[in-house]
Amino acid sequence: MRDATEALIVIDLQNDFCPGGALAVAAGDQIVAGINALAAEFQTVALTQDWHPQDHLSFAASHPGAQPYSEVAMPYGPQTLWPVHCVQGTAGAEFHPDLDTRPAQLIIRKGFRRGIDSYSAFFENDRTTGTGLEGWLRARGITGLTLAGLATDFCVAFSALDARALGFDVTVRLDLSRGIDLGGSLASMTERMRAAGVVLEG
């Protein structure tokens, strides 16, 4: 068992990010068994769940004429446009059926405000709206985080960078994460994590 000051945060292990899903990450489903085994080591486990309204402004379909994977200017800065994914209440938004959700004491839903995307488990993409995860962790005396899930170069990396900025010790399990890799994002975000002092394992 890990120390009581350590928590595992499993990022967006949902059907739409797995093969067959709307925003499938290659081999995204191959990390499920390893994450289940890892969760058994931790006394504190939280999951995040991408949870968008149907008309979310991170969807290309919400911007007439826009293509998925293009970029638009949002009031808070540039935003990549995605295929419609993880719509609240749909099968695509559910966790992968093999993910053991029983050890999780908290599920943080994010991206539910139509006008703001949320990659990070800590802050939405305006970089100021908090999700509440920091307070929950601090109230439980957590100082060290292990992150794994989907996608390495978006929600995992943004969460890891925010966690470092908030002062947590952070390990990302690269072997239990998979990336989207848009325009070299996997290499660039991995380097950003390394530079920020994130321990990269696997």
Applying CB under 6 A, does 154 fall inside the site for ligand VGL? yes
CA distances 108 to 72, 98, 119, 124, 130, Å, are 26, 19, 12, 12, 11
- 74's torsion region: left (phi>0), alpha (psi -120 to 50) or beta? beta
Residues 58-87, one symbol each (x = binds ligand VGL by CB under 6 A, - = not), give ------------------------x-----
Least distance CB 119 / ligand VGL (angstroms):
6
Active site residue 175: no
151 binds, among Zn ion, ligand VGL, none (CB under 5 to 8 A by kind): ligand VGL
Applying CB under 6 A, does 134 fall inside the site for ligand VGL? no
Q: Which of 2, 18, 40 is nearest to 177 (CA)?
A: 18
d(CA 156, CA 162): 10
d(CA 38, CA 84): 31
Interacting span for ligand VGL (CB under 6 A) from 63-71, 130-138, 148-156, 193-201: 148-156
d(CA 146, CA 160): 9
59 binds, among ligand VGL, Zn ion, none (CB under 5 to 8 A by kind): none
Applying CB under 6 A, does 160 fall inside the site for ligand VGL? no
Interacting span for ligand VGL (CB under 6 A) from 95-103, 128-136, 147-155, 184-192: 147-155
Active site residue 18: no
Of 43 and 196, the one with the shorter C-beta distance to ligand VGL is 196
Sequence-separated (6 or more) residues with CB below 8 Å from residue 89 = none
Gyration radius of the chain over CA positions: 16
150 binds, among Zn ion, ligand VGL, none (CB under 5 to 8 A by kind): ligand VGL
Among 7, 8, 10, 12, binds ligand VGL (CB under 6 A): 12
d(CA 129, CA 124): 5
Active site residue 110: yes
d(CA 167, CA 177): 22
- Give catalytic residues, as residue numbers: 12, 110, 155
* Residues in touch with ligand VGL (CB under 6 A): 12, 17, 50, 82, 119, 150-151, 154-155
